[in-house]
Structure 1
């Protein structure tokens, strides 16, 4: 096998500055709840009509800040402190009626939550008063200060990053992080501290290239479009887009405008997608968008920092998703996902190598910031982080303790099982 060369993808935003390679992390020393003081429930979120799995369904424990999401197979796990056994859980997702259930509905395993599709003809609802899509987006940005968290907070989040070559998992990173989330009306950047992490990479399956995704949890944190408006939708950029209305919808039983947006100038890779805006408050509740990278040369210059000689490396697909959750009359970042596909062409090889990189993060709990010593007491990671291999956590069945996580989909679970067998 040839000496492994390094390929680093700056796979988040084209406007983000070039960054360095590695940053090593030590434990932060966060005190988590005793593992014996919670119950864990698991199951599936399904379409009531056809029994199909529903991915990215949001499960929130009412009267608390605890939450999680279902994976791509519709599976979920939810850990609830034993002093909250009287709570209820609300399950919501785009296109379905939300459902609130008592905690005793949930089982340790095998729980089935079936959601009913929205069938209301929403275009007839008189609540929809906006007639100009661009002005609605402008109003959405203008109301950022009143609609989103105005106090600093500490968010506990679960992060997962996978790299596949073809259909084979070649790298898996998972982590629980703490985010010092600055107010949405502040230009202060968010801080991230790593609490617990594990990573395994199968370098043999990577041939002569070791893919390293730079940014780690920041890849998904920077998808917070309302906090980091400078990347996609800052006020002065609005003239660069065409905006139009799509059919309205509902999320968590709230009426939503759906605004399609698309950059006018297509000389460089350009953004396009959908904004889901609350009809009552003009709050951005969800965004699904992509970056067109048909121009391979410019896309390579933008997203590939290093590559081996004799190769062409370029992205072929970049898709993003961000969801917000409501707490009282304020909203906050709840879930982010970036899905990227890359091709590696070698001069003397007939076949290309195709790689899929998927990173996602869900906020599983949060609390108001208390004290000014958070930075000094915790080891912070930088936006240029590359997750470092550490397989020890895969042998510990209780590695995550009381932390809520995104239940691994089947292919990821297979990869975890394979890692465990190697360690044994």
Structure 2
């Protein structure tokens, strides 16, 4: 999975996803979490003006490292230790004013949180008057060691991977993972161990193929631009991008520059997107970007590693998102999301098959690194892992215990309900 920096394409293929269309097996080891007493609060975050759900809203338990995020339906579940009854929760998301609420505002079910849209006009007077977007991005990279976690940590994260064929979910994978997050000053790769996992795949709907996504949790972890700068905005590639300012924004009540970036060389798959950079500290706090894959042959060669004879397989759309959170003045990876659309064209079939692959991971807790504790529990997984089948967890309502997770979206929940009915 290492990038060859002399070849920009190898960097892209190392960062992103590999598909395999051949059946295989891989054993996953997992250790069980210890049970702790907690209270669970469920609800939704909505737009105060329209009542529409707000996705990817970040809920952070203040004076702790506990957090979670809303799903596409604006729904959340937040698990809090019983001894933290006096805590407060901050809810924040791009384009809305942040809100801090006492924990006693939350209910076991049906908590409704309304956020107001950010109406303030963000003029140049409000910001710190950066005039050159390229120099701003360079300053962002130069201040990485200053702005991001300099100590090792152990992060608890929830990972979900779904594969849809048309409108039907055909594969569901979920896991709680432990990440040994090395310092942002260090070139060492992060280590990952599975804490608990479950998966179900309906192979009958996969064109008799076992579509496997290699990488598992690493696929979203490697979206951490500031840890893995060699993949997208590597220092030697700054001259390969065009940069321009977009309208500024506010995230978590902080002013941010919005910088558009776009690769100049469009002969191969190429990156473009937006960087959200904190105006005061030049910290990257969010990025939304894409990989253009109009060149089908190059895209197929880059991403599809195995496929059956008589089929053409290629990606048609690749979208990525990464968010960072702040703790004690230092920033760290908080959320990563990737959405990929694929087409399978069969030689003797009139209609092709369209697949949508979603992968996301949210950091729900983190602690200072303890070598003894991590070594005692670790069963490390490889960066090319393929999640294997283990459907038992889907009919266990207490499967995740006290771990914070991303609530399933409606379509995913429907698929899980079907799995449960099959088990009965």
Which residue of structure 2 aligns with residue 383 of structure 1?
383
Q: CA deviation at 1:126?
A: 3.6
- CA drift of 1:128 comes to 2.9
Partner of 1:356: 356
Contact 2:220-2:336 within 8 A present in 1 as well: yes
Task: Show the counterpart of 1:98.
Answer: 98
The match for 1:24 is 27
1:67 and 1:365 in contact (8 A); partners too: yes
Secondary structure of the equivalent of 1:416? helix
Partner secondary structure for residue 247 of structure 1: coil
What is the TM-score normalised by the length of structure 1? 0.94
Q: Which of 199-208 and 373-382 deviates more? A: 373-382
Q: Secondary structure at the match of 2:248?
A: strand
Q: Distance in 2 between matches of 1:33 and 1:13?
A: 40
Distance 2:310 2:132 in 1: 50
Deviation sequence 1:55-82 (CA, Å, 0-9, x none)? 0000000000000000000000000001
Alpha-carbon RMSD across the aligned residues, in angstroms, is: 1.5
- Distance, in Å, in 1 between the alignment partners of 2:388 and 2:151 is 33
For the residues of structure 1 that align with 2:92 and 2:206, how far apart are their CA atoms?
38
Give the unaligned 5+ runs of structure 2: 1-10
In the TM superposition, residue 174 of structure 1 has moved relative to its aligned partner by 0.4
Aligned pair count reads 410
Segments ≥4 residues shifted beyond 6 Å:
17-21
- Three-state SS of the structure 2 residue aligned to 1:387 is coil
Query: 1:79, 1:378 → 2: CA distance?
Result: 24
Counterpart residue number, 1:14: 13
Instruction: Report the equivalent of 2:186.
Output: 186
Give runs of aligned pairs for residues 89-238 of structure 1, distance below 5 A.
89-238=89-238
Q: Deviations over 1:295-331 (max 9, x none)?
A: 0010000000011111110000000000000001100
Distance 2:125 2:96 in 1: 17
| Inter-CA distance 230–74: structure 2 relative to 1 (3 Å threshold) | same
Shift of 1:22: 5.1
Give the deviation of 1:378 after TM superposition. 1.2
Query: Which residues of structure 1 form unaligned runs of 5+?
Result: 1-11
1:206, CA displacement in angstroms?
1.1
SS where residue 163 of structure 1 aligns? strand
Note the 1:176-325 alignment, pairs <5 A: 176-325=176-325
Work out the CA distance in 2 between the residues paired with 1:420 and 1:57: 29
Shift of 1:28: 2.9
Structure 2-normalised TM-score? 0.94
